[in-house]
């Protein structure tokens, strides 16, 4: 097994892009948590009309419902600009982490990612900005678009394509920003060209196509077989010194896409018992990998019964 699994695990652990994806998801975790809490608080988990007036939870749920009528829309807005816009923040996090790996200008690299994301993942609908692909439905597109844009920008800067030289008297910040004018323009025009090709030739958009391609993976991990396979492979990695996050980064976009699909359904009024997805990132870490990487909770329980330390 070691001869079969170790080389593959080593390649996954050493893959730059998987490392960046794993780190980026951890980077935006606070936004995910804040958005999740905002969504939960925006409406009571149980309709107080279904409870008896003598039920101990009746006044709690009734008060919660009354508060939600006043503050619920504001909490939903907070959800929309945090968890509901996860694609944007993931794109920025990928650009930030990749810029550090490539030793690039962090701000300009994040600017490349942001503009590229907006060009590819958004559109105007009746003069309104459509944000349908800012959240979970745009995760796969955000990942691919960001990597393509940042790597293209890195190549152009490295080759000094269109580099504009300035005398030493010009401030360094101005020299760097204006010097990157041509690479920035090339990247942005490339994103526009990609958008144009998909719209005019294929009559679709990049995020819609990526969602169609990624949907089978989302459905696959949302099953006993899928989550079991992800768990077994990630745990096997520990035997060869491979952190599970390096392996889980492959399916993490699907986990997060599923949780965002549930969040959108819940925000639309779907009861908790009827949410479309079961296996999400929260499900995995709370039930499959409880106790942290390696599911160490069982080990801790055994240690409590140990006669010696």
- Asked, for residue 182, whether it belongs to a domain, the answer is yes
The answer to the question of residue 191 being in a domain is yes
Q: 150-182, pLDDT tens digit by residue?
A: 999 999 988 888 777 777 777 777 777 787 889
**Is residue 25 assigned to a domain?**
yes
Q: How many domains does the chain have?
A: 1
Question: What are the tokens at 135?
Answer: 């959240």
Helix, strand, or coil here: 171? coil
**pLDDT recorded at residue 187:** 95
76 inside domain: yes
Number of C-beta neighbours around residue 66 at 10 A? 12
Which residue reads 């986990």 in tokens?
Answer: 255
Position 6 confidence tier, pLDDT thresholds 50, 70, 90:
low
The Cα angle at residue 83 between residues 253 and 96, in degrees rounded to 5: 65
- Average pLDDT of span 255-259: 82
How many Cβ atoms sit within 10 Å of the Cβ of residue 61?
18
Considering only residues 236 and 149, tell me which one the structure prediction assigns the higher pLDDT: 149
What pTM did the predictor assign?
Answer: 0.77
Can you tell me the distance from the alpha carbon of 132 to that of 301, in angstroms, rounded to the nearest whole number? Answer: 45
Structural domain for 133, as ranges: 2-304
Q: Does 283 reside within a domain?
A: yes
**In whole angstroms, how far apart are CA 165 and each of 109, 111, 161?**
20, 22, 12
Question: 87 lies in a domain?
Answer: yes
129 phi, psi to nearest 5 deg: -80, 115
Q: What is the pLDDT of residue 308?
A: 66
Burial class (CB in 10 A: 0-12, 13-18, 19+), 302: exposed
Residue 189 falls inside a structural domain: yes
Amino acid 154: pLDDT: 94
Q: Does residue 158 lie in a domain region?
A: yes
């Amino acid at each position: 097994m070691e001869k079969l699994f170790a080389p593959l695990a080593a390649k996954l652990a050493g893959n730059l892009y998987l490392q960046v994806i794993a780190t980026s998801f951890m980077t935006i975790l606070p936004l995910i948590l804040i958005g999740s809490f905002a969504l939960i608080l925006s409406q009571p988990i149980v309709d107080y009309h279904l409870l008896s007036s003598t039920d101990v939870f009746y006044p709690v749920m009734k008060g919660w419902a009354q508060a939600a009528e006043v503050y619920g829309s504001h909490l939903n807005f907070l959800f929309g600009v945090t968890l509901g816009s996860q694609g944007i923040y993931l794109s920025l996090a990928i650009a930030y982490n990749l810029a550090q790996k490539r030793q690039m200008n962090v701000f300009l690299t994040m600017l490349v990612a942001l503009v590229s994301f907006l060009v590819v993942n958004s559109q105007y609908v009746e003069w309104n900005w459509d944000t349908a692909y800012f959240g979970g439905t745009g995760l796969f597109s955000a990942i691919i678009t960001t990597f393509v844009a940042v790597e293209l920008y890195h190549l152009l800067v490295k080759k000094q394509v269109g580099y504009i030289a300035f005398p030493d008297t010009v401030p360094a910040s101005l020299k760097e920003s204006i010097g990157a004018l041509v690479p920035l323009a090339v990247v942005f025009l490339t994103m526009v060209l990609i958008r144009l090709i998909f719209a005019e030739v294929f009559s679709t958009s990049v995020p819609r196509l990526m969602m169609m391609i990624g949907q089978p993976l989302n459905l696959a991990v949302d099953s006993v077989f899928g989550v079991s396979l992800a768990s077994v492979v990630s745990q096997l990695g520990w035997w060869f010194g491979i952190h599970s996050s390096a392996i889980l980064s492959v399916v993490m976009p699907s986990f997060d896409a599923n949780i965002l699909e549930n969040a959108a359904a819940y925000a639309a009024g779907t009861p908790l018992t009827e949410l479309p997805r079961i296996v999400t990132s929260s499900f995995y870490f709370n039930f499959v990998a409880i106790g942290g990487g390696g599911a160490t909770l069982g080990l801790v329980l055994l240690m409590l019964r140990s006669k010696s330390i």
